[in-house]
Structure formats: structure tokens, C-alpha cells
Amino acid sequence: MFIVKRIPIQPIKFINFKTKAIIPKYMAGKQQTIGRFFGGSAAPVVKSSPTKHKISPPSSPALKKQKLGDDEKENAKAKPLTTNLEEIIVKPVENKNEEAQTNPAPPSSSSKIPYSSLTDVMEKIENEPGRLKMIEIISQYFLEILNNHKDIMKLIKIVYLFINRLGPDYEPDLELGLGETLLVKAISECYGRSPSKVKEELKKLGDLGLVAQKSRSRQSTMFKPVSLDIDTVFDNLTKIAKSTGKDSQSRKIGIINKMLNSCDAKSFEAKFLIRSLEGKLRIGLADKTVLTGLAQALLLHENEKNGNGNKRVNPTEIEKAVDIFKEAFTVLPNYQILIEKAYEHGILNLLDHCHITPGIPLKPMLAKPTKSMGEVLDRFQDEKFTCEYKYDGERAQVHLLPDGTVRIYSRNSENMSERYPDLITVIKEFSKTQEHTSMILDCEAVAWDRINEKILPFQVLSTRKRKDVEEKDIKVHICLFAFDLLYYNDQSLITKPLNERREIMIKHLKPLEGKFQFATAKDSTSLEVLQQFLDQSIRDSCEGLMVKMLEGTESYYEPSKRSRNWLKLKKDYLDGVGDSLDLVVIGAYNGKGKRTGAYGGFLLASYNQDTGDLETTCKIGTGFSDEDLANLYQKLHPTEVSNPKSNIVYDKNNANAKPDVWFDPSMLFEILTADLSLSPIYKAAHQQYGKGISLRFPRFIRVRDDKGVEDATSSTEVAEFYERQQHVSGG
């Protein structure tokens, strides 16, 4: 726990009750630089008083249960949330210093924040396996920034540097990911080493960031270079990301060289600068951790600002702030807007100021898998529900902005407008003839055979070009199947029941045959009728059905949630566990026989959303063609690392549990499995069962390049598959 009180003109100090360290480790040895860090302004003094100030008891379990959604309830089973928060809260202490209360030193707005303060925190997080501790570290850092810098943009830039982005996910051209060759060139030019030496060291260390840091520390400089600060680094990275066209390579190298020259030899600046430029920060910081740390820091800062820095912060209040911030992010996934609004209106009022907005993709609602029509009927017993065709294409969130602009976003909130110029034309076409000012539609974009007027399989859709698409060259046509309307004419519809949303959609939008249609739907409770509808969906080239709650509050649109109010029933998967799984590739086994020179099998893991861990689930070697294996080797080989990342959970005492090579996890495989069983070797959901769950007879279907590591099938979902199978088989 941390206790915070404000006294002017004092250097910052923190004490951690567990470690008894007076200052955070990332500041260790940095006391002298603190004046520079905070531009000499006053900073909060943090003192320990573990016995005096107790955290209030957790809210009653009954209340808690009511408040939590289903997913959270399941997570809470494994680890009670309140306990987590008690462990990580940065808590203000009673302030007896009157002078400090009446005369707080003003935060500085212009002072520069050394880049090294951020890279020190990054280094600490990289070496920290526990998510709770990571939250503690990051929230302390955010709080210091908030308390000492009026300019909120500094915090926003820091947040983006932590998640290795330069703006929201949906903004194109803000991604880094420079090639190895260019960075090797920059390092060798700047630090006076030959490219071959740099490459040789890279082979040994497996991390260009480390190579840069070592090169920097070996190089002696005559003059002390100008120090790097957060604004300079962020602005330069943005310039690099946006730099295109002729001469862009040399412009980029010029900027990189300047920054590398300014890196402090004794800090981690060169290491993380190069990793940021590569687009691989590798510190294992999940978005959820950043959101939690930010929410805590914003609440604590607010209390300080309102002169309540001396009052105890109730853990329930912190829990509430974290929930609010996360919920706001599902509706408006933009750190800048959220931080500014929370700062202006107070984090606890944030939801009153965050509304879905055309032009900003909200996180899509997701469905839970089911194994049989019987299971669906059990769930929706005595409820009004609807079944829709489950189209096999690509999720498309279509936005019509008041100025007539049309944008299309993917399941992962990427802007796909350039990939689908034909869809933009279709939306503009039907918008022109009808009177819409703005809307957000949830749809599936499906490949369409215009001659035979029928749906084509997903494989055909995936042959479409992803970049530089010209409408005149398009061979694979698309029909957009709309299944939900989330916003219409300046009004959010997400808190209206599905039947009302559907009514508004059908009333105001006119389908265009083969270009824009509504999802085929049937509202019936008869098992026989639904079975026939499922069969018909397959005959019409769909994957099965989506079954959705139709009326009442449970049918509201729940952004980002994998909800039990939407169930997916996929015909092909009914014989297995009801769905395919998307697992993270964390390691591989060297191929033998005709697979020599490539990988012969892979080690896969599920993602534990509570801890951020990757828990091993199975080894897979089936379902790959020779071509698949060759391609996978090419893509995965550069991501090999000598040791597993600290968030990988595997049985260290069992030689069979270790792959021949480990990867820096980045790729997901979609796989099918016959069934799941408890295993002495694998670790998925091990906290729940003592033993982990493993997949039996897994088979590779495809690489899921539209999903990131955090979108992988979670360990909780693996446990759900396992439980359902036990239930169905009466086990």
C-alpha cells in the first residue's frame, strides 16, 4: 500500500509496505535527477503508515455478485477482485500538515519529462511477472505525472508509448514496425559499429533493443548529448510513422540517428527506443493493465486536486473507477478522449460524457459458443429470442458520419475503409436515396457470386487484396449483411432492446439485392423449426446460427462483451466442443524426416485474462500442409527467443512440456479439437483445477491474423468448454 500526502518543495518518495523500499525501484539511484524530472516543482511526499490507515472491508459478496457481469463473475471465482485491489491500491493518507494543504505547490506545465523515466519503468515491468505488481508500478508512474504536470497531453503520450502506439487503433498510419535492416543500419552508423558486427550480436542476443543498448554503453562521447524527453520521442516517432514516399528512408534514419545519439548510455533509452521502432516493445503489458493503472491514478489525482488527498480512498470506489474506465473504453476506445474527459468531469462521472460516436469504432459484442440446439433452448427457456443466419465472412462495423463520410471498421477496430471501396460506394448509394444523417451498423461482409446470386465461402473473401484496392479492379464482390443498428440519426440505440433496434433498421434502411441485405432471421421456440432453420442456413452457405435475446434489458447491445445473450451454433463444430479455439503459438518443435528445416509441431497456449499469463494447452502437429509449414517457419523464425517470456506458464519440471524453441508470442492458430481433458503436463486454467486442461487431437485450421494475443481464447473459455463437455457427457 502507499500513503500519499502533499508537502511543498520536497522530492518524491514512495514506500512500499511489502518491499519496504522508500522509493519505487524504477527511481532507484535517480534521486539526483528528480529535480530535472519534475522540472524542480514540488512533488507529493509519500509516507508509510500501514497500521494507522486500514483499507475498508470489501463490499458484501451479495452486492458484488449483483454488480458483476457474467464474465467478471467467472473471473472473480478464480481471484476475488476486491482482494486484488487491496493489494495494489495506491492510497492517500491523512494529511496533518496544514501548510501543505493550504499552499500546495503548483504543478509545472512546461517541464520536460525525461524519456529515461519511462524506460526505467518499462525495464521494471519487463522484469515483473505479476500483473498486480505491474498495475502498481504503472499507476504510481501515472500518478506522479498527473500530480506534477498540468499538461495532460504528456500523460496521453506516455500511455501511447507504453502500448507502443501513437494514437488510437482505428487511426491508420500510426503504426511503427520498421524493418531490421533499416534499424541495423541506424545502430551501426550512430554507434560506429559495422553492420555485420551488429547482426552477429543480434543473432547471439535475439533482441535488437539489447544490441542497441550495449552498443550505446560501449561508445564514449566527448560531449554530453541533449537529453531525450517524452515529447521529443513521441513527436519523432509520429514523424517516422507518417513519413512516406521518396526519401522517406533517409528521413527516418536521420531522425533515428539523432535520437540514438541522445540516448543516455546509463539508461535503457536505446533499448526501448529501438524496440518501439520495431513495433515490439515486449514488456508484456496488456491493455487491461494500462486501463486499470490509469483509472486508479486518475481517481487518486482527482482526490488530491479536490483537497481530499488526506482522506482514505475506499477500495470499492477504486474498483468502481476501474470498471467505469474500462466500460467507457469499450464505447469510446480512445485514450486521449477518455483521459481528457475523466480529468475534466471526474472519472466517476465519465460514462455521462462518453457516448458512442460515428467515426470511432466501438468494441463489438461477441457470442458464446454452444454445442447443441438443446443447450440453446435451455438457455433461452421462457425468454423471447431470435435466430439469425451466421454468415461466414468478415465483421464490418459501418459508420456514416454527419458529413457523409463512410468508414468501415474490422472486428479489431482497424479502419478497413481503403480495403472496401466498393462497400463505401454501396453505403453512399443507399444513403443518398434515404434520409440518414448518421448511423453505425453491425454487419458481416460476405463474398457474393453476382451471377448465381449466392454467398461464396470465406476462403474466396480472403483472396481479396488488402491494400491499394481500386474499385474497378475488384473481382470478388461483396454483399453486406446487416444484423444490428447501434446508432441512428444522432441517437445511440445500444440501450434499446434488440427487437426495437431491428425495427428501426428495417423501417429506415432499404436493402439493395446482392449488395446490402438484412440477416435472415426467424423467431420461433419450436425445436423442430429451429433445427430446420439451422439446416437451411447451411444450405444457404452459412456457418450455422446466431441465437440472440430479443426483448428486455438483456437484449441491449453489450460492447466488447462475450455475452450469454448471444449464442453461436456452428454446424460443423457440433461434433467437437462446439467451436474452434484461437490459441497463441508460444513455441515449436524442430521438424524431422521430410519436415527437417521447418518446424514439425507447435506449442499453444490460452490467454489468462486475469493475470495476463499464457497457459500451455497442447502440442499440435496435425492439419498442416508442407506449404503451411514452410510459411510458418518464415514468419515465426524471426520471433524466436532464447528463453520463454515471463508470462508463459508451463511445467518447468517436465522435459516433455518444453518446446525446442520459444517464440516472442505474436501469432494465433485457429484449431479444432475432439475433446478436452485434465492433464499432468499442460496448464490452461490450472488455478481452477489444480491441474491444467489440455486439448486432445488438436487440428490446425488456419492462422488468425485478424486477432492479437489478447483476443486469444481465454483460459476461462477453455474451462467452460471443458465443463460443458463434462456436463453433456454426464461427467
CB of 317 to ligand ATP, least distance (A): 33
CB of 463 to ligand ATP, least distance (A): 18
Residue 311 near residue 4 (C-beta atoms within 8 A)? no
Pick from 340, 321, 333, 289: nearest CA to 122: 289
Distance, in Å, from the CA atom of 157 to the CA atom of 171, rounded to the nearest integer, reads 15
Distance, in Å, from the CA atom of 605 to the CA atom of 668, rounded to the nearest integer, reads 9
Question: Per CB under 6 A, does 440 bind ligand ATP?
Answer: no
Q: What positions carry a catalytic annotation?
A: 390
Q: Which stretch binds ligand ATP (CB under 6 A): 194-202, 326-334, 384-392, 419-427?
A: 384-392
Distance, in Å, from the CA atom of 377 to the CA atom of 369, rounded to the nearest integer, reads 13
Q: Using the 8-state DSSP alphabet, how is residue 678 labeled?
A: E
Mind giving me the DSSP string for 680-727?
SS--BTHHHHSSEEEEES-EEEEE-TT--GGGSPBHHHHHHHHHHHHH
Question: Per CB under 6 A, does 568 bind ligand ATP?
Answer: yes
Say which residue the cell 463490499 belongs to: 59
Looking at the Cβ atoms of 379 and 411, the one nearer to ligand ATP is 411
Q: Which stretch binds ligand ATP (CB under 6 A): 96-104, 189-197, 390-398, 660-668?
A: 390-398
CA distances from 353 to 191, 361, 414, 440, 556 (A): 49, 17, 24, 19, 20
Looking at the Cβ atoms of 388 and 720, the one nearer to ligand ATP is 388
Phi/psi for 677 (5° steps) reads -145, 160
State which of residues 366, 401, 701, 728 lies at the interface with ligand ATP (CB under 6 A).
366
Return the exposure string of 27-57: e unless at least 16 CB atoms fall within 10 Å of the residue's CB, then b: beebeebbebbbeebbbbbbbbeeeeeebee
Distance, in Å, from the CA atom of 486 to the CA atom of 496, rounded to the nearest integer, reads 9
Using CB under 6 A as the binding rule, the residues of this chain from 266 to 295 that contact ligand ATP are none
Residue 439 near residue 489 (C-beta atoms within 8 A)? yes
Q: Which stretch binds ligand ATP (CB under 6 A): 300-308, 387-395, 489-497, 585-593?
A: 387-395
CB of 712 to ligand ATP, least distance (A): 9
Mind giving me the DSSP string for 2-46?
EEEEE-SS---B---TTT--SS-GGGTT-GGGHHHHTTT---EEE
Looking at the Cβ atoms of 325 and 557, the one nearer to ligand ATP is 557
Q: Return the half-sphere exposure (C-beta side, CA atoms, 13 A cut-off) of residue 377.
A: 11
Overall size of the chain counted in residues:
731
Strand partners, 478: 447
Question: Per CB under 6 A, does 701 bind ligand ATP?
Answer: no
Phi/psi for 21 (5° steps) reads -75, 140
As a whole number of Å, the CA-based R_g of the chain is 27
CB of 389 to ligand ATP, least distance (A): 6
Size of the site for ligand ATP (CB under 6 A): 14
Distance, in Å, from the CA atom of 138 to the CA atom of 153, rounded to the nearest integer, reads 17
State which of residues 46, 90, 350, 519 lies at the interface with ligand ATP (CB under 6 A).
519
Phi/psi for 116 (5° steps) reads -65, -25
Q: Which stretch binds ligand ATP (CB under 6 A): 136-144, 165-173, 383-391, 627-635?
A: 383-391
Pick from 277, 228, 24: nearest CA to 112: 228
Q: Which stretch binds ligand ATP (CB under 6 A): 386-394, 527-535, 634-642, 680-688?
A: 386-394
Reading phi first (left if > 0) and then psi (alpha if -120 to 50, else beta), residue 675 is in beta
| Residue number with the smallest Cβ distance to ligand ATP | 395
Contacts of 321 (CB under 8 A, 6+ apart): 295, 296, 298, 299, 347, 348
Looking at the Cβ atoms of 133 and 395, the one nearer to ligand ATP is 395
CB of 592 to ligand ATP, least distance (A): 32
CB of 676 to ligand ATP, least distance (A): 17
Distance, in Å, from the CA atom of 300 to the CA atom of 309, rounded to the nearest integer, reads 8
Q: Which stretch binds ligand ATP (CB under 6 A): 127-135, 287-295, 352-360, 382-390?
A: 382-390
CB of 398 to ligand ATP, least distance (A): 13
Query: What would the grid cell of residue 88 be?
Result: 495494489
Looking at the Cβ atoms of 391 and 700, the one nearer to ligand ATP is 391
Distance, in Å, from the CA atom of 320 to the CA atom of 303, rounded to the nearest integer, reads 15
Phi/psi for 714 (5° steps) reads -85, 160
CB of 701 to ligand ATP, least distance (A): 10
Looking at the Cβ atoms of 311 and 522, the one nearer to ligand ATP is 522
Distance, in Å, from the CA atom of 643 to the CA atom of 663, rounded to the nearest integer, reads 8
Tell me the H-state helices in 540-663.
626-636
Reading phi first (left if > 0) and then psi (alpha if -120 to 50, else beta), residue 696 is in beta
Looking at the Cβ atoms of 490 and 503, the one nearer to ligand ATP is 503
Looking at the Cβ atoms of 391 and 420, the one nearer to ligand ATP is 391
CB of 391 to ligand ATP, least distance (A): 4
Distance, in Å, from the CA atom of 10 to the CA atom of 79, rounded to the nearest integer, reads 38
Using CB under 6 A as the binding rule, the residues of this chain from 183 to 202 that contact ligand ATP are none
CB of 512 to ligand ATP, least distance (A): 18
Using CB under 6 A as the binding rule, the residues of this chain from 533 to 562 that contact ligand ATP are 546
CB of 577 to ligand ATP, least distance (A): 12
Question: Per CB under 6 A, does 444 bind ligand ATP?
Answer: yes
Question: Per CB under 6 A, does 390 bind ligand ATP?
Answer: yes
Pairing relationship of beta strands 90-92 and 2-6 according to DSSP bridges: parallel
Question: Per CB under 6 A, does 388 bind ligand ATP?
Answer: yes
Using CB under 6 A as the binding rule, the residues of this chain from 496 to 515 that contact ligand ATP are none
CB of 624 to ligand ATP, least distance (A): 19
State which of residues 411, 436, 508, 522 lies at the interface with ligand ATP (CB under 6 A).
411
CB of 338 to ligand ATP, least distance (A): 24
Phi/psi for 658 (5° steps) reads -105, 130
Q: Which stretch binds ligand ATP (CB under 6 A): 81-89, 352-360, 376-384, 389-397?
A: 389-397
Tell me the H-state helices in 455-556.
458-461, 498-508, 527-539
Distance, in Å, from the CA atom of 585 to the CA atom of 565, rounded to the nearest integer, reads 30
Looking at the Cβ atoms of 304 and 388, the one nearer to ligand ATP is 388
Using CB under 6 A as the binding rule, the residues of this chain from 667 to 686 that contact ligand ATP are none
Question: Per CB under 6 A, does 728 bind ligand ATP?
Answer: no
Q: Which stretch binds ligand ATP (CB under 6 A): 45-53, 260-268, 388-396, 426-434?
A: 388-396
Q: Which stretch binds ligand ATP (CB under 6 A): 216-224, 354-362, 385-393, 607-615?
A: 385-393
Looking at the Cβ atoms of 174 and 538, the one nearer to ligand ATP is 538
Looking at the Cβ atoms of 228 and 445, the one nearer to ligand ATP is 445
Question: Per CB under 6 A, does 71 bind ligand ATP?
Answer: no
Question: Per CB under 6 A, does 395 bind ligand ATP?
Answer: yes
Using CB under 6 A as the binding rule, the residues of this chain from 345 to 364 that contact ligand ATP are none
State which of residues 335, 483, 607, 721 lies at the interface with ligand ATP (CB under 6 A).
483
- What is the contact surface with ligand ATP in residues (CB under 6 A)? 366-367, 388-391, 395, 411, 444, 483, 519, 546, 568, 579
